[in-house]
Amino acid sequence: MTFDEIPLYVAIDRVRRTIASPGAELVSDEQRRQICQLIRAELPFDRHFDADQMLAAWTTFRKSPNGKVGLTVEVGKLHGWKCFMHGRGKGDCSPDVQLDRIVPGSRGGEYNVENCMIMCGKHNNIRKDSSLEAYLLAPFEESA
């Protein structure tokens, strides 16, 4: 998922919550067309995704509604859709969205809404398993 695709995943989340079988596989062309119409209706007016993009994202979400994709959408809706490090003196963000644990897994942190934040891949990979405080206080070094 990229930051540009966020409106698509939020729209899919809304559609999934309103249909009878949110985990159903789309088999017929008519089902795919209907899902695309529903998603398109939930998108902000200034965002356009083609049917292939919508159906690929639908499939991704369908495979992980209660996993990282679903959790990423919930965390983003709750805490915002910018990298947590954006504007904090750690350099430019990358376009890919990642779910990062505030308390890293190596320190007992779990993947849940209370312990997660949205971070770009660049900052998440640089932070690794350091504490959030240590990462924020460390001097900025441009990565290679």
What are the DSSP calls for 74-124, one per residue?
HHHHHH-SS-TTTTTTS-PPPSBEEEEESS-GGGT--SSGGGEEEEEHHHH
Residue 26: the pLDDT is 75
Q: End of a domain among 49, 64, 79?
A: 64
Q: Answer whether residue 16 is part of any domain.
A: yes
- For the entire predicted model, the pTM comes to 0.82
Q: How far apart are CA 94 and CA 103, in angstroms?
A: 22
How high is the pLDDT of residue 4? 92
Quick one: 78 and 25 in the same domain? no
Boundaries of domain holding 78:
70-137
Q: Are residues 89 and 129 in the same domain?
A: yes
Do 38 and 86 fall into the same domain?
Answer: no
Are 48 and 82 in the same domain?
A: no
Q: What is the pLDDT of residues 14-26, one digit of tens each?
A: 998 888 676 667 7
Question: Considering the chain, what is the average pLDDT of its residues?
Answer: 89
pLDDT band at 143 (very low <50, low <70, confident <90, very high): low
- pLDDT above 60 (res 70): yes
Q: Are residues 12 and 30 in the same domain?
A: yes
| 144 falls within a domain | no
Residue 110: what are its φ and ψ, rounded to 5°?
A: -110, 160
Last residue of a domain, one of 31, 64, 97: 64
Q: Does residue 89 share a domain with residue 35?
A: no
**Residue 144: is its pLDDT beyond 60?**
no
Same structural domain, 46 and 21: yes
Q: Which of 23, 49, 64 delimits the end of a domain?
A: 64
Share of the chain above pLDDT 70, in %: 94
Token pair for residue 37?
A: 């119409």
For the chain, the domain total comes to: 2
Residue 143 lies in a domain: no
